[in-house]
Amino acid sequence: MLSNELWRQSAAELARLIRSGLVSSREVLESCLTRLEHVNPRLNAIVLTLAETAREEANAADAAVRAGLPLGPLHGVPVATKVNTDHRGCPTDNAVVSLKNLVATQDSPLVANLRKAGAIFIGRTNAPAFSMRWFTDSELHGRAFNPWNALYTPGGSSGGAGAAVAAGICPIAQGNDIAGSIRYPSYCCGVFGLKPTYGRVPAFNFTARPFSTISAQILSVQGPLARHVSDLRLGFTAMTGATPFDPRCVDVVASAAPVRPLRVALAPKPGAHAVHPAIEAAVRQVGSRLQAAGYVVEEVELPNFDEAARLWPAIAMPDVIATLEKDIASSTDQNIKRAVGFWRECWPHRDPAACLTALGERLRLQRAWRIFMERYPVVVTPISLRPSFEWDEDLRDAATTGRIIEAQAPLLALSVLGFPAIAAPTGLHDGRPVGVQVIAAPYAEDLCFEIAEVIEAHAPVPIPPL
């Protein structure tokens, strides 16, 4: 293969080529940097290019190969990190002007895990201010564009990560997800994204304030985005690893294999709200393909689905959002003020007692889902009930924001439940990617990967024609 085409390869293939000495990490990096220079001016997916340090890392990676040293699973492979995650020597600015000089002196544990796995860090990905919109735009970094169609959002908050991976800047990018911030950009950009089980990937920023809100502690997770399921597995494996900096994080031994043939619950209309016909069709098409592959697929009603989605604001708004509102009020970013203001109109103030009640209800719903998943170890739903939104829909008025929130019910429900889920692309509708959400019980990410591999086999992810 021509060295300038190496960016097209999967992370797994690049790691194999580098390990075998067939190509160098430096060649791979230069191919990705050339691709970045070609497409990023149109996307603004990468807001800080780390070319100089990446070349040093790639040279060291090649020296390790020549010396016959032990090599990690991502040895020599370019990876991007998000601007709200501590990365040594880079600002953890969270797309906020007042934080632009907050430079991390230590890697967050997940970045340290990626570094230990041999990753080469190519750049920092764009996010909305405070990482709290489904649209990636900020006063500090500007707008990240969807590589399929610039008229539509690339998703948020990991929109830069989704756009970078889709466009071939890097095969794997790191994101985080509290209300769909990995899954929604993956959906909008036509790539795979994993929201792991709570506690599988460590999360801690040395630059953060000394406490973390309760809802952020239980709803927010870290995970990878990638063009290939094999790379999603690879990125997830590289990110995991318990650390004393995140006492919630655990190393997990594989659980007992489920009974075969595996039962899959299909939910093309998972709740009370209308589903776009193209998305409903995508879910049913996946069901047909899984059935043809030997799975037992049944279209069923999911337990307490809308109730789970409604718990998100009950838990998060009096806590993490109320805390953020103080910072947003002092920000000069008018779009985040307007967007969160409409959230508040849709989700009025609740006292802390309502949040505590919602936390109790959360456990009841988790129990109902665990019982349900004894029969159906895998569930397939929409990711969003609509194709990707037009730019700045959330800035129009409260009624429009309310409709957006309704469409994001599958994202919000799974954030509340805390179960693992993969956003898997299935194709295009009117030039926009569509896909499905593959859900499994806690710590059963392998089942999500298994189903996503079947989906990928029937609908390989194309690279946008940039």
Catalytic sites, residue numbers: 82, 157, 181
Of the candidates 377, 428, 20, the one whose C-alpha atom is nearest the C-alpha of residue 12 is 20
In angstroms, the CA 147 to CA 388 distance is 12
- Give dist(CA 84, CA 126) in Å, integer: 9
Residue 427 is classified by DSSP as E
Sheet holding 221-226, edge to edge: 46-49, 120-125, 78-82, 172-177, 221-226, 192-195, 421-429, 432-440, 378-382, 263-266, 296-299
User: Is it true that the peptide bond before 425 is cis, omega within 30 degrees of 0?
Assistant: no
The amino acid present at 72, given as its one-letter code, is G
* DSSP-derived 3-state class of residue 154: coil
Q: What gap in Å lies between CA 142 and CA 394, rounded to an integer?
A: 16
- Report phi then psi at 172, rounded to 5: -140, 140
User: What letter does residue 81 receive in the DSSP assignment?
Assistant: E
Q: Which of 287, 283, 264, 265 is nearest to 275 (CA)?
A: 283
Residue 174, token pair as written in the block = 């790191």
302: which DSSP letter?
P
- Residue 428: is it exposed, middle or buried by C-beta count within 10 angstroms (0-12/13-18/19+)? middle
CB 163 within 8 A of CB 146: yes
Q: How far apart are CA 207 and CA 247, in angstroms?
A: 17
Torsion-angle region of 79 (φ positive above 0: left; ψ -120 to 50: alpha; else: beta): beta
- Angle between helical axes of 305-316 and 352-375 (0-180°, round to 10): 150
How far is Cα 148 from Cα 435, in angstroms, rounded to an integer? 14
